[in-house]
Every structure is written in structure tokens, then in C-alpha cells.
Amino acid sequence: MPNQNLINLRERITEIDEQLLTLLSKRSDIATEVAKTKLALHKPIRDEIREAELLSALIEKSNALGLDQNYIARVFRLIIEDSVQKQQKWMNQELSSTDSSASRVAFLGPKGSYSHLAARAFGHSHFDKTIECSCHRFDDIFEMVETGHAEYAVVPIENTSSGAINEVYDLLQSTSLSIVGEKIMPIEHCFMGIKPINLDEITTVYSHPQPFQQCSQFLSKYPHWKIVYCESTAAAMEMVYNEQNSSHVAIGSEAGGQIYGLNLIEKVPTNQGQNMTRFVVLHRKPKTIPLHIPTKSTFLMATGQHAGALVEALIILKNHNIVMSKLESRPMKGNPWEEMFYIDVQANLISEEFQEAITHLKSETRFFKVLGSYPVDGILF
């Protein structure tokens, strides 16, 4: 016979839990109202400043109430994450009911940049009509898609010579968008000019610092060339076109140069034989990829800070026979001494083994989020 005191106490807990549920449901309804307002105001769903203010106020209050602040931070991060997901889902439904036939693709401009070429290649291979949305900054690209001003974003994530593009990794931490494709583009630098000339006729070379760095060995053979740094390879090509001086050339892509009416003079060898950039395609809704298509998935996780925490998480992948193809880490937003891990695996979100691994990983990590499953190298399903 259970003790009456215990029964009474449990009744009180049950009652409080029910009140918590009602409050969570009320909070969630208000979040949908917030999403409606944001859609009307063209604002993105996620507001990191508001989240940080909310969390620090709650942590302060939790101290005063004698509650553990890590526990409170974890609980409220989960509540906020759920609220963001719900709002994004609601916004997706609204936007898909007013979808236009043309697809808008956002990328880092200006036109003629390598990102533009990647966005264009993606658009051409998937839609009848693409509207190109050139943006000045990476966060503008994410915002365009989050707010429904564009359907897809094409952003570079890593380059074989210069490594990870940290700004993009950091934006992936807080975005509500999903990765739905990847595209690996060879980056071939070319001398582009207003007419074909011999290399010894060149006097001035325009480009972005990166191509200069990537081609430095070849360029050192021509020490008399004047080097002029520009904001982008596209800006360099525009400059050469505007000057109409045949001894001035730009280093950029052949296709980018054609946009500015320039001709290919010669390809420029890079110091490292193969120069490639991997782009990812982002969309508001995740895609389901059939199991027979070779698929990759990317997820984020933050492990606990005890010894061997990362190893334990990776062993879960091994135990489920999941091959990891990439591991990157970046400081966690709002918590710079903790690391967020970005992991690419050769697995499909709908596969049984990956689902099982996810269940285990969720129980072993402090934060876990799948960014998406997508066909290997470029084919958007």
C-alpha cells in the first residue's frame, strides 16, 4: 500500500506538470502569432539577440530561485529550438501556398563570381526559370531564404586551398534552413582580357587577393607585372572591361569573364594542382532522398565536456556502421569556450541505421541537430 504522503506529493507534481504543458502550449500559440507578424514585416524567424536576452534573464532568475543554471539553460534552449522549428514550418506552409513557378536562388555576388557560377549551374539543372538574387553578405543570403524572398541559397563551405569558410559554418549553427544539395566546383583561374594577347604583352593584372595567393608561383615568373587588388574577381573583370586597355587583364573564371564581355587569354596554373570549392544548397524545407540514391547527411552536435565525450559520440557512428566523411569544429555561438562539431556522414536520414544512431547520439550529446540529407555531389532530388 503506497504511503498517503507520497501519493499526495505525486498528485501535486502531476498537477504542476499539467500546468507546464498548458503553459508550453500557450507559448507555442504565441510563437505562431510572432511568425505571422514576422512574415508581414519580412523579418527572419530566428532572432539571436532576443534569444540571448531571454536566456540570460532566465538564468539570472533561476539563480534567485535556487535552480541549476545549466539545467535551466538546456531546458529553455530546447523550448526555443522547438518554437523556431514550429514558426519555420508555419512560414513554409504559408509561402508554399503562394509559390511562384520560377525559383529564386540567392548567392554571394557580384555577378561573375564563382558563387554566381555555382548558383547558376544549380538553377539551370533544376528549374525552367531561375531568378538570380545577388547578395553582398553571407547573412543576407540566409535571411533571403529564411524570410521567403528566395527559395534556395547556394553558399561556399570549403575550398581545397584555403580550407573551411568559417562565416558560413557559423551561420549554419543558428539557421532554420536545411541543406538539400551540394556542388563541388573546380576553380580554374584564367587570365581574361578585352582581346587575346601573349603573356609578355601584359602590364597589369587585377584580381582578388585569393587568386593571387593561389597562383603566386606562376606569377613570380613575371615580376614586372603590376598587381592590383580588387574586392572580387568579378570587380576585377568589370575594371578590365571598363578600361578597354588590351595590356590589362583580370584573373577570374572563364565563364565569369564572358559575363563581362572578356576573352580567355590563358589558364593560370595554381600552386596546388587541384583547386575546388564545395558549395551547399539551402532550402526552407528538408528533402527526403530515396534510399537507392548515394546520400550524405550533415549534422551538428555539442558533446559534454568530460574526457572522451567526442570519442564516445563517434563510437556510436562506428557501432551503426556509419562512415564519417568530415569533421569540423567551431566555437559555439554564445558559448565561445565550447565547440560545436559539424559532421558529414555517408548516410540517409530515412535509413534505419542512421535513425538508430541519431537516437543514441541524442541521448549522449548536449545539442544535436540534423542539417539535412542530400545526394552526393550536386544532384538535387
Ligand X SMILES: C=C(O[C@@H]1C=C(C(=O)O)C=C[C@H]1O)C(=O)O
Among 49, 296, 31, 310, which Cα is nearest to 174's?
A: 49
Give me the residue label for grid cell 508555419: 90
Does residue number 26 form part of the binding site for ligand X (CB under 6 A)? no
Report the nearest approach of ligand X to the CB of residue 87 (Å).
Answer: 6
Give the residue with the Cβ less far from ligand X, 28 or 69: 28
Contact 27, 79 (CB under 8 A): yes
**Count of residues that bind ligand X according to CB under 6 A:** 11
- Answer yes or no: is 77 a known binding residue: no
DSSP string, 310-379: HHHHHHHHHHTTPPEEEEEEEEETTEEEEEEEEEEES--TTSHHHHHHHHHHHHH-SEEEEEEEEESTT-
Q: Residue 288 Cβ, how far from ligand X at the closest point, in Å? A: 26
| Cα gap 324→8, rounded to integer Å | 51
134 binds ligand X, rule: CB under 6 A: no
- CA–CA distance, 236 with 136 (Å, rounded to integer): 16
**Contact between 146 and ligand X (CB under 6 A)?**
no
Tell whether residue 54 is a contact of ligand X (CB under 6 A). Answer: yes
248-252: strand order across its sheet:
226-229, 204-207, 248-252, 190-193, 263-267
Q: How far is the CB of 78 from ligand X (least distance, A)?
A: 10
Q: From the CB of residue 369, how many other CB atoms can be counted at a distance below 10 Å?
A: 17
Among 46, 189, 296, 320, binds ligand X (CB under 6 A): 46
* The one among 55, 59, 67, 80 contacting ligand X by CB under 6 A: 80
Helix, strand and coil content of the chain, in percent to the nearest 5, comes to 45, 25, 30
39 binds ligand X (CB under 6 A): no
Whichever of 47 and 132 has its CB closer to ligand X, that residue is 47
Q: Is 51 among the annotated ligand-binding positions?
A: yes
Stretches 43-51, 153-161, 268-276, 343-351: which one binds ligand X (CB under 6 A)? 43-51
Q: Is residue 46 part of an annotated ligand binding site?
A: no
Q: Assign 256 to helix, strand or coil.
A: helix
- Check the annotation: does 88 bind a ligand: no
Kindly indicate which of the ranges 67-75, 79-87, 127-135, 238-246 contains the residues binding ligand X, using the contact rule CB under 6 A: 79-87
Where do the DSSP E strands lie in 222-361? 226-229, 248-252, 263-267, 276-283, 295-302, 324-332, 335-345
Residue in the structure block whose three cell numbers are 508550453: 24
- Does 81 carry a binding-site annotation? no
Q: Which is nearer to ligand X, 36 or 124 (CB)?
A: 36
Closest approach of ligand X to the CB of residue 167, in Å: 20
50 binds ligand X, rule: CB under 6 A: yes
Q: How far is the CB of 188 from ligand X (least distance, A)?
A: 41
**Rounded to an integer, what distance in angstroms lies between the CA atom of residue 245 and that of residue 228?**
15
Q: Does 175 bind ligand X (CB under 6 A)?
A: no
Q: Which is nearer to ligand X, 84 or 361 (CB)?
A: 84
Look up residue 347 and give its three cell numbers.
Answer: 548516410
Residue 83 contacts ligand X per CB under 6 A: yes
Report the interface residues with ligand X, using CB under 6 A.
31, 34, 46-47, 50-51, 54, 80, 83-84, 87
- Which residues participate in the annotated binding site for substrate? 10, 27, 38, 47, 51, 83, 87
